[in-house]
Structure 1
Amino acid sequence: MSNTVLTRSLRHILGLSLAAGVATASQAALSAPDDRRQTPDWLSLTFDQQTRFEALNQDFEDNERYDHALVARTNLRADMDFESFDVTVELMDSRVFMVEDDTPIGSAMVNPMDFLQAYVELGDEAFSVKLGRFTQDVGARRFMARNRYRNTINAFDGVNAHWQLGDDGALRAFYSFPVERRYKGDPRDNRMKMDRSHANQRFGGLVYENSRLPFGSAGEIYLLSLDEDDAGNLQTRNRQLYSLGARAFRKPSPASYDYELEALVQEGESRKSTAVTDTDTLDHSAQFLHAEVGYMFDAPWQPRLQAHYDYASGDKDASDDENNGLDSLYGVPRGDFGPTGLYRIFIRNNISSPAVRLELQPTASLRLNTELRDARLASVNAASSSTGLTSATPGGERHLGTQLETVLRWQAIPGRLRVETGIAYLWAGSALADQGIDDKYYTYLQTNLRF
């Protein structure tokens, strides 16, 4: 990595992102949070604004490519508490600026002004049900999540029920139609187009959670179902998938071990692509595993050292009648595999990847995380499209590469303003190098304002 390129990236980040986000955030949050109420008792308003400048460099030797973008996501949420029911309405505006014409962007970055949530909630603490558009996390957010880092957020139209089972257990059931995020014309123009869901794309699930498992653990077991048919203007792979998963974990605490173990099997049918010419329906059979163990030292900076392993199956044979590639549904890769946005190198498909991570907390408002991850193909007969590897490796090479990521988070004004910066560098492995895919690195600076 040349000093010139790195300096240029940092200059862009410090100048542009701070100008767009930090100055506005600081001015709005000059005073510490107080308890003064500006709205009626039945109304609660929340404002969230996330601004991030990100830059991706790649192909250094032959034809250096430099992509950058300034992304901004603004959410305004109103919670209305009436005597017999509650109403939640949340607007989201996601836009992109300062992006080149050849930089690939789409609905993961752009979704101008629309309803993210709009639901009525009935019931009490023992049982409640939401009717309308909602967002939701399931477990560790690997297969259903409300996105944090990505500039747009998954939403669902439907019904979502919650039962509280004593002090330790809870049951959730939902049936929904995933919302298609839309924009008009070129996404760089940030022109509005109403989001919509489709009756022929259905996503449901059943989740049981328990906060008191043996050995001081907690966890959940869940069943997720995705059912698609020919969806008109919405091209799909006609997936009919059933994903059965379970997770157990113990939270970190000083001078003790913690762990997380999650496994999932996925069965059903799917097509390999969304192309209208792809009419062959394949049996679908895939697997997933995440294993993690950590230890937090009772010492200054509260160092926590962790070892991770992630596995997601890839298609074993492109010529047979079975698809073995894991579908991560509506989950997020950020927590395990690093930044998304312009980067998004590793995803939960066709990967076998160990990692070590060190977390430090120098002060109550400052956190520093560093992770070293190695990644290989789970199957040499399938692609790894997020890395740029679009076909099987002819020489049977498995090594995708080694990634080093460092993230610094600062609670500049606790509860109001957070500043985050990070860098990820990928040393391309033999599977990528054989296809002409070189090293790449990604830097970003992000501000989050909330009040």
Structure 2
Amino acid sequence: MTIKKAALAVACNDLFPINFGRMSLLGAFMMGLSAAPPSLADSKDNDSSTHNYFVEARSYRTQPYGDPPTYSRNLSKTGIAPAKDIDWLDVGLDFRMRYEYRENDFRRPANADPDEPILLRTRAFLGVKNILDPFRFALEFEDARLYNSNFVRADSEVNEFELIQGFAELYFENALGSHRPLRVRAGRQALELVDKRLIANNQFRNTTNNFEGFRVTLGQQTNDWDLDLLAYKPVQRLKYDFDEPIEQQWLYGAVAGWRRWSPFVTLQPYYLGYKVDNKNGATDQNIHSTALRGYGLIGNTGFDYDFDVVYQFGRSNGNQQHDAWASVVELGYTFAGSPWKPRISALYGYGTGDRNPNDKVNNRFNSLFGFNQPWSRNDYFSWDNVSAPKLRLEFTPYKGVRIDTAYNAYWLASDRDSWRRVNLRDRTGRSGDFLGHEFDIRVRYRPIPRVETELSYARFTPGEFPKNLGKALPSNFFYFQVSLNAFE
């Protein structure tokens, strides 16, 4: 193991200029929302400075991770007597250990022996606020390790002694009106946006997606509207050295939220640009994603819904035109009055694949830095070249016990494009398009405060496409993990 580098690389120069002309449609839509009359809100809701407009989505695993991290606590609320008046410091210390058993993993060579890795992750957080306002800062460290694996360690599993967040910010609580803050943040940051399908820090994975750059936030999620503006360089994870920003890449964009109608719908129009400049030009990309996400409750019927539609255009793979789209729709029903609080949901997700490998147009959707776990417990799928219906049941049979289980089926959106996560492709399209189906179940249990256990099993049964390409055996994935939180 080598020693980590001593200094944090600065990624705040040569910002790629955003072509705001491409955002005119999104801007017009947002202006239209802001001009809409507040007729759907009652009289007390018209005071947007005090009313809480936030409604959490009920859709499965779409709520962004907390900021500050959910494992952190304000020191004054930790129960430590000498710290009861220290309300300007947030602290967190979290440890997770997971044992996995993977048999016939489709991402491994055929007939490979079962793998039984043990993954360890330790995180620590420190955030200073209030006492130096408007100046604030935060640090978050992570140590991610892997033992007992049969395969080469990947940067999704190992990232030793790493700074995953280190930023300073200016926070003005009432800059845009009463309780409507302005936040300007710079440095290394981990974040999740919208429904995590394009920007996520991947909490299930052993290592974390993060970025270096700037973020400006107008308002907050309790307000009737808010707006995030961001410009980042993705950070390259180096397993044993200090992580570095990828100088040839930029991720930038805007995410808006409109909640004035949140009893019925929360709307999130957003735009993300992704630019890659490589010296050889073969993998250059300049992709623009314009999207609208909406979710809400259907009155008091018990039904809820969530949708996200994204259209991508630009250039990819050097000289190819990029023309792709993706969508996901989820409809759920929660049984009122039942002590088990069951929710049943149906989801359909679709991401385009490349229709013709021989033309100069790339139709494969780019899922950027999204979260793959909701697509597949095995982590076999992402939001590209896929057509996937899903049925899921969630319930709480006892206090502290949460169970969810699902059935999933998968097809290729284009039978001539690849199953990217597994690296299988038939350019002729003659191997079919049915990938297979998966059953999964997960049980989470909190035996005592500060401790959570999680047990899960998933079985994937291959369809005609993988069978025709030599992947005929079903795969089994089991894991058991324990998480410890020092300050809950």
TM range (shorter): 0.7 to 0.9
1:159-198 aligned at under 5 Å gives the runs: 159-164=214-219, 167-183=223-239, 192-198=240-246
- Give distance in 2, aligned partners of 1:121 and 1:406: 41
- Give distance in 2, aligned partners of 1:140 and 1:263: 11
CA contact (8 A) 1:45 1:79 kept: yes
Identical columns (%)? 26
- The aligned residue for residue 147 of structure 2 is 97
Summarize the Cα distance change of 1:231–1:360 in structure 2 as closer, same or farther, 3 Å threshold: farther
Which ranges in structure 1 are unaligned for 5 or more consecutive residues? Answer: 1-32, 184-191, 272-279
CA contact (8 A) 1:44 1:79 kept: yes
Q: What displacement does 1:69 show?
A: 1.0
Deviations 1:122-148 (A, max 9, x none): 022320111111111111100001221
**Equivalent residue pairs, number:** 393
Match of 1:432 among 437, 444, 466: 466
Match of 1:204 among 242, 252, 272: 252
Summarize the Cα distance change of 1:344–1:49 in structure 2 as closer, same or farther, 3 Å threshold: same
- The aligned residue for residue 325 of structure 2 is 287
Helix, strand or coil for the counterpart of 1:66?
Answer: coil
Q: What displacement does 1:180 show?
A: 0.5
Summarize the Cα distance change of 1:355–1:155 in structure 2 as closer, same or farther, 3 Å threshold: same
Match of 1:399 among 420, 429, 434: 434
- Give distance in 2, aligned partners of 1:200 and 1:111: 22
CA contact (8 A) 1:252 1:296 kept: no
- Give distance in 1, aligned partners of 2:205 and 2:172: 33
- Give distance in 1, aligned partners of 2:231 and 2:250: 7
Q: What displacement does 1:59 show?
A: 8.0
2:231 alignment partner AA: Y
- Give distance in 2, aligned partners of 1:64 and 1:95: 22
Deviations 1:290-314 (A, max 9, x none): 0110101122311111111000011
CA contact (8 A) 1:147 1:153 kept: yes
Helix, strand or coil for the counterpart of 2:481?
Answer: strand
- Give distance in 1, aligned partners of 2:299 and 2:448: 25
Match of 1:216 among 248, 260, 264: 264
Deviations 1:24-46 (A, max 9, x none): xxxxxxxxx95225554433220
CA contact (8 A) 1:201 1:231 kept: no
Q: What displacement does 1:251 show?
A: 5.4
The normalised TM-score by structure 1 is: 0.82
- 2:257 equivalent to 1:257: no
Q: What displacement does 1:338 show?
A: 2.5
CA contact (8 A) 1:393 1:431 kept: no
- Give distance in 1, aligned partners of 2:82 and 2:370: 36
Tell me the C-alpha RMSD between the 2 structures: 2.3
- The aligned residue for residue 156 of structure 2 is 108
Q: What displacement does 1:64 show?
A: 5.9
- The aligned residue for residue 303 of structure 1 is 342
Match of 1:410 among 445, 450, 473: 445
Which ranges in structure 2 are unaligned for 5 or more consecutive residues? Answer: 1-76, 174-180
- The aligned residue for residue 35 of structure 1 is 79
CA contact (8 A) 2:431 2:468 kept: no
- Give distance in 1, aligned partners of 2:200 and 2:286: 20
- 2:357 equivalent to 1:318: yes
CA contact (8 A) 2:264 2:299 kept: no
Helix, strand or coil for the counterpart of 1:154?
Answer: coil
- Give distance in 2, aligned partners of 1:127 and 1:375: 43
Q: What displacement does 1:210 show?
A: 2.1
- 2:370 equivalent to 1:331: yes
Deviations 1:372-406 (A, max 9, x none): 00100000110103234233364241100010010
1:113-128 aligned at under 5 Å gives the runs: 113-125=161-173, 126-128=181-183
- The aligned residue for residue 291 of structure 2 is 245
CA contact (8 A) 1:42 1:80 kept: yes
CA contact (8 A) 1:254 1:302 kept: no
CA contact (8 A) 1:401 1:426 kept: yes
Helix, strand or coil for the counterpart of 1:212?
Answer: coil
Q: Which moved more, 1:280-289 or 1:173-182?
A: 280-289
- Give distance in 2, aligned partners of 1:38 and 1:236: 60
